[in-house]
Each structure stands twice: as structure tokens, then as C-alpha cells.
Structure 1
Amino acid sequence: MSAPIAHGGGITAAAAAFGGRPEDWLDLSTGINPCPVALPDIPARAWHRLPDRDLVDEARVAARDHYGTGEILPLPVPGTQSVIQLLPRLLRQGRQVAVTDERVAVADDKVAVVSPTYGEYARAFTAAGFAVDAVNDVASIGAGHRLAVVVNPNNPDGRAWPVETLVALHDRMKAAGGLLVVDEAFGDTDQWLSLASRAQQLSNLIIFRSFGKFFGLAGLRLGFALAREDILARFEDWLGPWAVSGPALSIAASLLRSDASTIGSRIDERCAGLHAALEGAGLRIAGGTALFTLVADTRANDIYTHLCRHHILVRNFDYAPEWLRFGLTPDPAADRRLGEALQGFER
């Protein structure tokens, strides 16, 4: 088994290493909206009873209307990480496999992952015995790949691919009998990049959407998968009954029907505040999305440690030691706190 990937959000470990109470730290290590929306009323039955079909169906209809997926009813899943884990199973199903040295070897079943990106895709396929090609652009994906993964916009650098580019990639994958997975975890603030409205016409496409990042409710562990019905049926079967909690389904149905424009405006405001703090400290913005900003600096490791000593956690990367990813600050006071800490860094 491969080593776990370090992700953002490790405030408890950071506090143990650098001191202070976790609740007093400023966590900028994730790409989650730092201003969570107010929770809607949750019916008592959502807590008391196992989630019945009507709750699932209500959330699916709300997601269909929110994402604009036409006849496709997005499948609620307990965080998109849960279905990332199922992709190797989907790819292997119906294929001839051989067991060699206690590892599953799949002949001619290469996977392409546009990289660098969210590391759990490569980890899941590698652990399942698939050969993974880390490619730097969609143009490098060829007929030899049975499945391709594109995170759009990408995490952590914010690279984005136009809809028509991805439609053309889908058509190439389909012609070769392959599947295209597009992860739109950060797509809520860049709807113009989304393939959701085209999913009904693209039969070999799977889209993952995050719920918690945009609404600031990552603790719900909720996401949606968009694909043709037979693929969604397999995911649903493999996840098992009651995979998503009743309260999560109820919250999703309510918030997905609400006006999200004020959430987007608040995120834009927070993004502007973060950029002002970074630029005021002379840091170079190298990429990002509305929910996070990537900084490139040869002193990244020293800046990371300096911020930890000020009880501010950002995301660093072992594969790109010059990168730091900054999540959004929750308010102007946090902008000032970050700016003052950065300006105190000895250059």
C-alpha cells in the first residue's frame, strides 16, 4: 500500500508542532469557503430515520436543476473521494486480469492523469495495479489510455481547459473505448468551464462535483457524480445503502435550490482580500481559483515555517518545494493578520 498523501486541514498536527490551541490558528491550508452558509432547517425525521428514497430523489432533482444536467439526475455520494476510490473497479469490470506477485496487473489499461493535481487519483489507480501516466496537458492523452482524469479548474495551480477542448478529448476517448473523468470540485465559481450541461450528450463522461467547498460545509462529506445511468447505478450499488446521511441530503436539497449569487460575491470579496495581503508582502501569484491562490517563491519552505510560528497554516508541496497554496481568509481582520505575518518575514 502506498503512503498516505498529505492534504490540507491538519491544524491539530500543526498546533502540536508549533504550539497554540487549534481553534486559535488561522487555517488557510484548504480550498474551502471560509464563510459557511447558514444551515437551513433540518426536519427531525432526517436525524431520526434512515434516509429514505424520497430524500435521495429530492437532492438529485435539486442537483439536476442547480448544475443544469438535463435528464441526468446527479448521484449524491459521501464526498467525491468515495467515488474516486471506485474508479479502478469501474475500469476493471468486465476486463481480464491476472494476479502476479500478489499485485493485480491489467494489460493495456493505462490511465492518464493531467498533473500535477489532486494526488488521490494516481494513488487509487496505482494501488489497484494500473499504470498511471502523469501528463502535463490534455493533448498528451492518447488512444492507449482507457481512462483520463482532468481536474478543471486544476488544483493546485488553477489551470483551466475550455469546454470544447474537453469535448474533443471525450470524443477521442470514446472512439478508443475509453472514459473521461472531469473533476469540477472547484467549478462552482467558474461555471463557464463546466461540462455539466453537456453531460447528457457525452456518453463516456463522468463528472465529479463537490458540495462542501463552495458552501463552506466540507464536514458534511457530500458530493455528486454525473454520468450516464448505468455508471451511476454501479456507483450506487458499490457504495451500498444509506451512503449519504439524511441531514446531508436535506441540507443539499435546500441549499441547491437557493440563490447562490451572494455566496459567489462573498467568495470574490475574500479572494480580493487575500490577493491584497499577498501582493502587499511582495509575493508572486502563480495561479489559483476563486477559492485558493498559488504562490511561487524560492523561499517557500521558510515562509511556511514562519507562518506556522505565527499560527497560520498554508499548504506546501513535497513535489514542488517552491509552491505554497493559500486558502481564503474569513474576514478583513484575518487579511491583516496574514499581511502582518508575511511582512514580518525576514527576506
Structure 2
Amino acid sequence: TYAEHARAAAIAGHAVAEVSDFDALAEADLAVLVNPNNPDGRVIEKPRLLDLAALLHAKGGLLVVDEAFMDVGPVEHSLAGNVGEGGIVVLRSFGKFFGLAGVRLGFALTDALTAERLDAQLGPWAVAGPALEYGIRALSDAAWQADMRQRLAQDAGRLDILLGRFDVPVSGGTSLFRYLSFAGAPGLFSALGEQGVLVRHFAERPGVLRIGLPGSEPEWQRLESALAAWAARRKDAPKESGQ
């Protein structure tokens, strides 16, 4: 998931271990989880999170759940309404669903005592006034949010269909991005890049890509053309014996 969580914890003096097994988080003093996860879109169910939070809280620990993508996720698994129970911090962002990455704005939901500690450490000028105004207006515009969720869901479905036409499997993601995990990922990354279509690759996992949604009809057409060129190249490539 986000590398910055591990880096920030290490800077704060923690011995950091990144784990793929959810149950391993129970051994931590500070457990950080992204839900839905980036880039695979994995979601951990709320009851499991609450059980983990109670276990950590009982030993003086803390569960931090980064819900940057929960605006397009299954809200029934959000812990935003449970932070008063203690031992939970929920992080939210304006940079994903609202598309306001440039204002560098987010917020934390937690119990009153932890909120006071965060306020004291961040100081009074952590966020600029204009950024706050953007955030207030974004959160207040419920009609825009509903319309955007519907549009994103439709576009994500359209992208799945387009990728499927060229035998590109979708393994996960959210309605903001799709997660691709297959052997042809490195070749697809290069072929799309040659056509000026940028997707996210991961050096430590060459068989994985994350692809966002095209923003306009010309961009959809550009992606389709790039996929068609890649598929044609694969079809014409000589097959190795024994493969």
C-alpha cells in the first residue's frame, strides 16, 4: 500500500514491518491499514477491524485506517462512526474522489483526547484557509457526490468491458481505478506508454498495473487504439516452442 505510512512510522522511531496477513497486525502497537487498499482495492470487513481495534486498544495500541478511497468504497465497512470507542484513527482525503490533490488537504477522525494530541502536534497553521474552504464546499455538495459516484461506477464498468475485449483481466480496484495482475503486464505498460497512455506500474511487482479512468471521449478512443495496437502486436509475435 502507500509507502509513506511506513516511512512516517520509521521517522517517528517505530520498528516497522510490512505484512500481507491481516491477522499479523494484532502483534503491533501501531497498526496502519488502507481500506479500500491501493492498488488492489481489497476491503477488510468492519467486524474484523473492530475486533483488531479492541485488541490493540486493550494493550494501549492504536489502529489507523486510511480511508482515502472510502468515498467510492463500501461505506458499511468504514470506521468513521466508531472512532469514539477509542484506539481508532480514520484518515480521509480530498485528493482522490474530489480530485483536489493539489490542495494537499485531508483530515483525521478520532476520539477527543487523540484529536487534542494531534492538534497540539500539528499546530494552528497546518492547513491554509483557501484549502479549508475547498474542503467545506466539497463535503457540503451532496448532489455532486451522488452524481459523481454514479458516473464513476458507469465509467469503471465501461473500462472493464474495454479491457475485456483485449483479454486484459481486471483483478480488483475501485471505481476510481482498476487493478490488473497478469503475465502480460510489463508488455502492456510499455505499449501503452509508447502511445502516450500512462498507467502505474510497480517495480517490485512487474506483473501488476493500476489504470485510471479516461476523462474524456478522445481519451477513451486513445486508450482503445493503444490496446488494439498492443493486442495486434501480441498476435503477430512469434510463439516460443513449448509455450
Q: Does 1:265 align with 2:150?
A: yes
What is the CA-CA distance between 1:125 and the residue it aligns to? 2.2
Q: Secondary structure at the residue paired with 1:123? A: helix
Q: Secondary structure at the residue paired with 1:132? A: coil
Which position in structure 1 is the counterpart of 2:66? Answer: 183
TM-score normalised by the chain length of structure 2: 0.89
Q: Does 1:255 align with 2:161?
A: no
Identity value in percent: 41
- Contact map agreement 1:270 1:331 (CA 8 A) in 2: no
Distance 2:172 2:45 in 1: 17
Distance 1:193 1:327 in 2: 24
Which position in structure 2 is the counterpart of 1:290? Answer: 175
- The structure with the largest helix share of the pair is 2
Which position in structure 2 is the counterpart of 1:138? Answer: 22
Q: Secondary structure at the residue paired with 1:268? A: helix
The gaps in structure 2 that reach 5 residues or longer are: 235-243
Distance 1:195 1:125 in 2: 21
Q: Does 1:221 align with 2:95?
A: no
Which position in structure 2 is the counterpart of 1:342? Answer: 227
Distance 1:126 1:242 in 2: 25
Q: How many equivalent pairs are there?
A: 229
1:194 aligned to 64, 69, 78, which one?
78
Distance 2:216 2:77 in 1: 28
Distance 1:252 1:130 in 2: 32
Q: Secondary structure at the residue paired with 2:205? A: coil
> Relative CO higher for 1 or 2, CA cutoff 8 Å, sep ≥ 6?
1
Which position in structure 2 is the counterpart of 1:49? Answer: none
- Contact map agreement 1:277 1:338 (CA 8 A) in 2: no
Which position in structure 2 is the counterpart of 1:172? Answer: 55
What is the CA-CA distance between 1:183 and the residue it aligns to? 0.5
- Counterpart residue type for residue 196 of structure 1: A
- Contact map agreement 1:184 1:209 (CA 8 A) in 2: yes
Moved more, 236-245 or 184-193: 236-245
Distance 1:276 1:331 in 2: 17
Which position in structure 2 is the counterpart of 1:318? Answer: 203
What is the CA-CA distance between 1:218 and the residue it aligns to? 1.2
Q: Deviations over 1:271-296 (max 9, x none)?
A: 12222221122101111111111111
Question: RMSD across aligned C-alpha pairs, in angstroms?
Answer: 1.5
The gaps in structure 1 that reach 5 residues or longer are: 1-116
Distance 2:184 2:169 in 1: 12
Q: Secondary structure at the residue paired with 1:304? A: helix
- Counterpart residue type for residue 270 of structure 1: D
Distance 2:115 2:79 in 1: 17
What is the CA-CA distance between 1:298 and the residue it aligns to? 1.5
Which position in structure 2 is the counterpart of 1:15? Answer: none
Q: Deviations over 1:62-109 (max 9, x none)?
A: xxxxxxxxxxxxxxxxxxxxxxxxxxxxxxxxxxxxxxxxxxxxxxxx
